[in-house]
Every structure is written in C-alpha cells, then in structure tokens.
Chains A and B, each alone.
Chain A
Amino acid sequence: MSAEINLTLKVWRQAGPNAEGRFVTYEANGISTDASFLEMLDIVNERLIEAGEEPIVFESDCREGICGTCGLMINGQAHGPQKGTATCQLHMRSFSDGDHIVIEPWRATSFPVLRDLAVDRRAMDAIIGAGGYISVNTGAAADANLTPVPKETADTAFDAAACIGCGACVAACPNSAAQLFTAAKVQHLNLLPQGQAERWARTEAMVETMEAFFGSCTNHGECEEACPKEIPIDFIAWTNRDYIKAKVKNRKLVG
C-alpha cells in the first residue's frame, strides 16, 4: 500500500562541463511510495523552482525503460537497487522512511558531465558508426523469407539486441569499459545470417573503436549485474572469440 516517506538526498550538482562539482543535500519529505524515482526528483525540482533555485538537471524521456535516456548512480549502483530495472522504472517503494540517497551521474572519462546528472554519451554512437550495421541500402533487400533464421538464433540475437544503450555497463565497470554495450551489438549482428558478410570487419572495428574511447574489459562482470535488460556477459566471451578470429581473417591469411 502506498505510504509517504521522508528522504535525505545528496545530489551531485555541477554547473557545466568545466565547472567544479559538489554534493548538495536536499530534504525530500512527504514522498509517496507510489512515485517513481524520477517523479520524486520532479517533486524536488518543483519545490526548488518555487524556492527560486535552479532545478537539478537529469535526463529521461520515455519513462518506461526502453529509450535508454535516463541513468543515475543511486547509492553507488547504476540504476539503483532493483535488478533489471532502469532508473525510470524504479519506484520509491524500494526505499524506506529516513533513507539517505546519494545520486550521481554516470562516472566515466568518456562520459563527460554536461551539467549535474546529465552526461555526454556520444562515444557510444561512434562505436555503432564503426560497424554496428548491416550494409544494405534501402530497396536492395530480397524477400524476407528467402533467408530462414533458426528460431533459437533469432531469439539469442534478440537477447543481445535488447540493449537500450543507456551506458550503465560503463558506469558500473571498474575500468569504464563499454564492452557489454559493444558485444551486445556485435553479437546481435554476428549471430544472424544477414550479418555474416561483414562479421570480421565489424568485430575488429567496433572493438577497437570501443578501446579508443573506453577502458578495456577485464571480466569483472559488474556490467551484467547493472544492465537494466540483464544482457549476459556470454556475449562478451563470444565477441572476444570473434575478435581473435577477426585479427587473423581480416589479414587475409586464411582462405
């Protein structure tokens, strides 16, 4: 049943990319446990505006866990305490009266803070641009049913394709690697028959673009734990395998 709780928030405030940031404490009283975490911040912001203070900048859009826009470090956990849940789907019934909540932006060198809790995640688009596609111009496709795809293959490709590109994997990784994000896209396409022609070039280009922006993966597994879509790190293992093969095949040393 719904109840009202009082909370103390420690929120990262930073005026701009080059400004110095700091934690500011806010009391958030009378918050309904039916409110979502972001609605709780909406309420805090509404009160800040009424008080003449600039509201806390945080990003969100769909608020149903699919667009990947939102993402906060909540008490040191990417997207907060509920497993498999993006920040926007987290509700205040996960918290108790009197809780202190520390709210930070994603922390990673490749995700510079823009303001308060908003970060720049364009490096992830660069990874997709490096090869996260199948090269087929509009109009060039054959009938869809000409290429059967085993159901298990399609389902596994889908499990990888479910990635929402939020960046929680980067934020959770001690090395700030975007390996789960990269591997999810690599494997989504590498698993499908349509993706075979570019498989090796794609793998090499995407993995190396990832390394150019982000840290390297050393198999901590924090990413899987933080992922709101619960994408398994099996995809990282498969991508590592494909990457080693790609290093050989892309040099045309084999048939």
Chain B
Amino acid sequence: MLGSLDARIPAGSLDSKWTDHKFSMRLVNPNNKRRFDVIVVGSGLAGAAAAASLGELGYRVKVLTYHDSPRRAHSIAAQGGINAAKNYQNDGDSVYRLFYDTIKGGDYRAREANVYRLAEVSVDIIDQATAQGVPFAREYGGLLDNRSFGGAQVSRTFYARGQTGQQLLLGAYSALMRQVTAGTVELHTRSEMLELVMHDGRAVGVVTRDLITGEITPHSAHAVVLATGGYGNVYFLSTNAKMCNVTAAWRAHRQGALFANPCYTQIHPTCIPASDDFQSKLTLMSESLRNDGRIWVPLAHDDGRAPHEIPDADRDYFLERKYPAFGNLVPRDVASRNAKTVVDEGRGVGPLRNGVYLDFSGAMARDGEAVIRAKYGNLFDMYERITGEDPHRVPMRIYPATHYTMGGLWVDYELMSNVPGLFVLGEANFSDHGANRLGASALMQGLADGYFILPYTIGNYLSDFLGDPALGTSEPVFADAEQAVADEMNRWLSIGGTRSVDHYHRELGKLVWDYIGMARNKTGLEKALSEIPALREEYHRNVRVLGSADTLNQSLEKAGRVADLFELAELMARDALTREESCGGHFREEHQTTDGEAMRDDENFTHVAAWEWNGEGTPQTRHREELEFDNVELTQRSYK
C-alpha cells in the first residue's frame, strides 16, 4: 500500500534545483555503463532521443517499436513548432517566463519543479536539433526565425514550415540510427510490448510479440523506459495516428505503475469534421487559421440554406459575441466548448450538421485573395483534398477533436514511476502540462525528457546495481509473462463472435466522446461507468478475430489494444467524476462561473490523482500527490 506520493523534488530554490540535483546524483563511470542493459519502448521524439543519448553514453540499449521503422512514430505529425526560451527576439522571454506560461496554461495542475526544468533545458534542445541538421525556418540573415503561439505574449516558437514534428523526429531518428550502426543500440522493429516483467518489485524487462511472425520474446534489462505516447485513440476519432494506443502504459499500470490524471485530455478546436460513419480519423487544421477566419453558425436551428445565402443578420458569430476582447482567438478549450454548445443546440453546419463555419470571405475582401492564399495556401489545399471544397469559395467547416492527452503514468522528478526501474517519458507520462498543454510544448517535453533528463537520472538508479547482471530471461517471471501473452492471443482467436474489433472501438469512442469529452457532468459520467463496462463485457464475448497468431494479423494486434482502451476509459470516467472542479481540458458543467468559464477548486483539488490497479473487476485506488506552488500565484483565467 502506498502512502501519499512523494515526487522526490530536490530542495532549494526553483532555479537551482536541477543544477544541484545533477551534481548530487550518482554517476556510472564509462566502463561500467556498458555493463547495463536498458530497454526503450517506443521510437518517437522521447524514445529515439533517449535511446540515442544512452547509446552515446555507452549503455547497452535495446529499442522496441511496433512500427516498421522508428521514423513512423506519431511525433512525426506535429505541425506547429517547438517552444524554447532562447529570447532570440529580444522580446522579454526568459526561462522563468516559459515556466510561468506553462504553469498558468496548465491551469495550475502541474509540478513547478518539473516545469521549470523543462523551460531550462528547452534552449539546449534547439542547439542540439540544429546541430543535427534539423532545417528550422530562418530569417534572411541566416539566423533562426520564431513565431508566436497561443498562451504566450512572446515569440519563442521555432518551426520547420508546418512539419516541425517530422523534422525533429527525423533528427532524433538519425541520431538513433547512428547508434544502431555503432552497435550501442539494438533495434527491434515490428515488436510490440505486451507485458512488463517484474521481479522483487522492480521492472526487469518486457515481453514482446513480433507482429510478422507472432513470436513471443522475453527481453531483460536493468531498467525499462516507456516512451509510448498518449491515449487519445480512446475516442476512436482523434488526430492521433491509427496505431496509437495505451497498451504499453496500461500493461505497466496493471503491474503496479500508477496512472495519473487520466481525465486530462485536450481537444483541438480546428479539425475537419467527420464526413460519414466510416471516418477513420480526424485531421487537424492549424490553429493559425483563427487569425483571419471568422467562426459562425446560422442563428436559426436546422437552417438548410447554403452559407452564402445566409445574410449577416441571420448569422451568429458566437465567439465574437460572447468574448468581445479575444473573439475568435480565445484559447483552445473555450473555442471548443462553444462550438459544441451551438452544434448541440442544432445549429451545426454541413451534411451531418456537425461543424461550424470558419469563414475567410471577410479577410479576402479586406486583404485580397492573394494575401490570404499566401498565408494559408497549403492548409486550404489540404482541406480541399480531404473535403472536396475550396475554402476560397465556401467557408471551411471545422469541429473540435481530441488531440493530446495530458494524463499518463505517474513519475517522480527523475521521471521514474512508482515502480523502481520503470521510467516514463514524453506524452506517456503525466508530469509537465498539468490540465492543459500549451501549443508547441509537446515536442519540447518529449525531447527534453529524452535528450536531457533521463540520461542523467537513469544513472542515479542504475548505480545501485553495479556488478549485478540483468535477470536471466530463463527466470520463471519471464516464462509466466510469455505464457500470459500466448494465452491472451489464444483467447482473442477463440471467442468467435460476430463483430469486428473496429466496430467495438468505434462504439467505445462514441461513449467516451459523449460522456468524457469536451464537457462532463455527474450524470453522464455515471452513465459512462455503467455503459462502458457493459460494452466491454460484450466485446470480450462477441468480438470476432479471424486468422491465427503466427502471422501478420492486424485484427489480433488491435484486439488487445482496444481491450486496454476499454479499461482506461472506465478509469477516465472515474477520475473525471472524482475531480469535482473544472480545470484546463477537464470541464465539469457543475463547476463553472456565471459566465460559463472553468472554475477550479484550489482548496480541494490542487493535487495529482494517481490511480493504483487493484485487479480486474475492482476499482482502482486513488492516491494523491499534493502540488505546492511556492513561486506562482494561482489565478482565474479570463478571456472576456
């Protein structure tokens, strides 16, 4: 049984904690590093950066990824940019300001010490990536360019056109491949982690399934690093890639790792709405469009007229009406909730009445079509490719979609979970974004964790085991885990039900979207807690997985992932129900100001909720980590 959670935050002033801690942590000398085995699961920004850096240091690293190449990881799809407190623009940025903006943006539900460290190392990330050849945007003088992003009043975002995530990932991937060639990193592609192996209360390895041959393989190590991304696909429709899932983190949770703040999910306001029932994913359109587009819906319910036939008097520019100061540029969560309100009222637009207009006709009349085209041409093309409509002629239709998950496995200051030897990086952990992530901060966190934090902190853990070989894979704990995986595969194949895995995933997604989406309330969450388990029970009884376990079998791969999403969804509902306040991406309808804004309850909920697995069928136990704010004052956000 756990007491109250201790994040092991070093003493001292905010700006000296990391420096002092780096000095006080124990080191592993270069000769001894090659005696330690480290497993890194996942090859996105956090995983590739960590594996490359550990390999360079001399550790024996094994990278496990279910992709066919490390370069496929979903970090690649991030568009906007990466924040760093370089202050190259001389506009008043600083480590402290980036720290402050991130804490405030997270609605005061993140750890001060972690966030400050993130801001500190942000500057090193830009140097590292540039040295690797990441082609960041540049000014004519040859120096790096910056732009501004939501939630900040300075220009601190570095970018590479609309493909910043791709370029940063390719940088980390190239560093990783260099280590693979050097022989310090062993790369296992198409290898999916399905069990975390524990011995004496420590993480000692994992079991993987080869997605091509079905071979089940044990891997032992002195430490296991999970960098396996977020769980946005619990909604089925999200901006996540199709394969994104919670399985690695969830299997670790089932072995005792605490899952923190699962109800903190982020909805992005400007995505292309679903066009039919077979929609497989949602595509994000850059938030920058809101600078020139005006968002509106018809005043009348079920107005069937084409947009150009609706005169201004019959339109409701609802953000401009409700938020005269910020208008169409209110933060993501506010814009999203208001779009939901008007669509729920029956004023949605498009064939399925599931979107709102984002209209550029005014901007084109004001600035000329050429100017708007120069600014947003690539986005307009992308929109037209997907919808078949030209935004120069017809207003875009947009609707919010799940984009990022702030919750994840609980980690301490050293990014180690409560399970000794299990480290968690990037979106898979919970630590730095509180209840809401600012734009251009996900890339920053993944690379900070991988390049500049884990390589230091892992030594502090490993130094205790000098001279101890990793546990042999012939130990019974490995055989048990291998058997568990084999049994699971056989179980899916033997159900012989009638509906596909995707069918149930889609149904689950609808429940999660309806009850644990942009706005939550007690009644809905209680419904979720009865309907999700009922659907899960049907899933386990009636899912149809054809084929065999010893071939490439995509239904079989998905079956286990969806089963884990079911369990996660239930925990999300429980977490959202327990958190009787609104904060960041978690909006409880019962807790709002008279203006309809999120209302925190700092007295009772200034803490992290971290849930402990108690076995199947028994609700998890909620633990708390109290958040201390010694440096910033907690305030209410307002955008009027």
Contact = CB atoms under 8 A, between A and B. Distances in A.
B356 to A, nearest CB: 19
A177 interface: no
B596 to A, nearest CB: 33
Interface in A32-46: 32-36, 38-39, 42-43, 45-46
A65 to B, nearest CB: 8
Interface of B: 49, 52-53, 56, 67-72, 74, 76-77, 86, 88, 124, 126-133, 135-144, 160-161, 163, 166-167, 170, 173-175, 177-178, 180-181, 187, 189, 212, 241-243, 275-276, 278-281, 283-284, 351, 385-388, 451-452, 455, 498-500, 502-503, 544, 546-547, 551-552, 554-555
Contact of B128 (A33, A45, A138): A138
Given A63-B241, A138-B451, A148-B142, A161 B135 contact: yes
A189 interface: yes
Interface string A137-154: 111111111011111001
A194 B130 contact: yes
A118 B126 contact: no
A115 B214 CA distance: 13
A89 interface: yes
A189 B134 CA distance: 9
A227 to B, nearest CB: 15
Interface string A52-74: 11110101111110111100000
A118 B547 CA distance: 16
A2 B275 contact: yes
A54 B546 contact: yes
Residue in A52, A128, A165 with the greatest tally of chain B CB atoms within 10 Å: A128
Given A2-B351, A63-B280, A154-B136, A142 B554 contact: no
Interface stretch (A119-127, A168-176, A230-238): A119-127
A101 interface: no
A125 B69 contact: yes
Contact of B181 (A62, A124, A130, A161): A130
Contact of A93 (B135, B173, B388): B388
A188 B544 CA distance: 47
Contacts of A124: 69
B144 A145 contact: yes
A132 interface: yes
Contacts of A194: 130-133
Given A34-B275, A36-B280, A63-B280, A133 B177 contact: yes
B625 to A, nearest CB: 30
A9 interface: no
B76 A67 contact: yes
A118 to B, nearest CB: 6
A17 B213 CA distance: 10
Given A129-B178, A133-B175, 4 more contacts: A91-B388, A120-B68, A142-B127, A148-B143
Interface residues of A, number: 80
Top 4 closest pairs, chain A to chain B, by CB: A148-B142, A141-B131, A133-B174, A144-B130
Contacts of B130: 141, 144, 147, 194
B72 A192 contact: no
A242 to B, nearest CB: 15
B544 A144 contact: no
A62 B76 contact: yes
B174 A134 contact: yes
A50 interface: yes
Nearest to B73: A67
Contacts of A158: 135, 160-161, 167
B56 to A, nearest CB: 5
Nearest to A163: B170
Contacts of A16: 551-552
Given A142-B131, A144-B130, A122 B189 contact: yes
Given A39-B278, A136-B132, A149 B555 contact: no
A49 to B, nearest CB: 4
11 contacts: A32-B276, A36-B386, A39-B278, A57-B554, A61-B243, A136-B131, A138-B56, A141-B132, A144-B126, A145-B88, A192-B133
Nearest to A38: B280
A135 to B, nearest CB: 6
A162 interface: yes
Contacts of A129: 177-178, 180-181
Nearest to A128: B177
A179 interface: no
Contacts of B72: 61, 67-69
A189 B67 CA distance: 25
A59 B69 CA distance: 12
B69 A121 contact: yes
Contacts of B127: 141-144
A85 interface: yes
A124 to B, nearest CB: 7
A24 interface: no
A124 B70 CA distance: 11
B71 A68 contact: yes
Contacts of B180: 125, 129
Contacts of A125: 69-71, 177, 180, 187, 189
Contacts of B174: 128, 132-134
B165 to A, nearest CB: 8
A33 B130 CA distance: 43
Nearest to B137: A154
Contacts of B275: 2, 32, 34-35
A188 B56 contact: no
Given A55-B555, A67-B241, A61 B74 contact: yes
Contact of A161 (B70, B141, B170, B212): B170
Contacts of B503: 46
A142 B136 CA distance: 16
A67 B141 contact: no
Residue in A60, A67, A120, A134 with the greatest tally of chain B CB atoms within 10 Å: A67
A81 interface: no
Contact of A188 (B135, B212, B242): B135
B454 to A, nearest CB: 11
A15 B141 CA distance: 56
Nearest to A42: B280
Contact of A52 (B133, B283, B546): B546
Contact of A39 (B143, B280, B498): B280
Nearest to B554: A57
A221 interface: no
Contacts of A134: 131-133, 174
B68 A150 contact: no
A2 B144 CA distance: 44
Nearest to A195: B133
A108 interface: no
B455 A138 contact: yes
A179 to B, nearest CB: 19
A161 B502 CA distance: 35
A189 B160 CA distance: 15
Contacts of A11: none
A114 interface: yes
B278 A149 contact: no
B334 to A, nearest CB: 26
B276 A34 contact: yes
A246 interface: no
Nearest to B447: A138
A57 B552 contact: yes
B77 A150 contact: no
B451 to A, nearest CB: 5
Contacts of A154: 135-138, 142
A129 B186 CA distance: 12
B480 to A, nearest CB: 30
A62 B74 CA distance: 7
A188 B177 contact: no
A121 B180 CA distance: 17
A22 B144 CA distance: 53
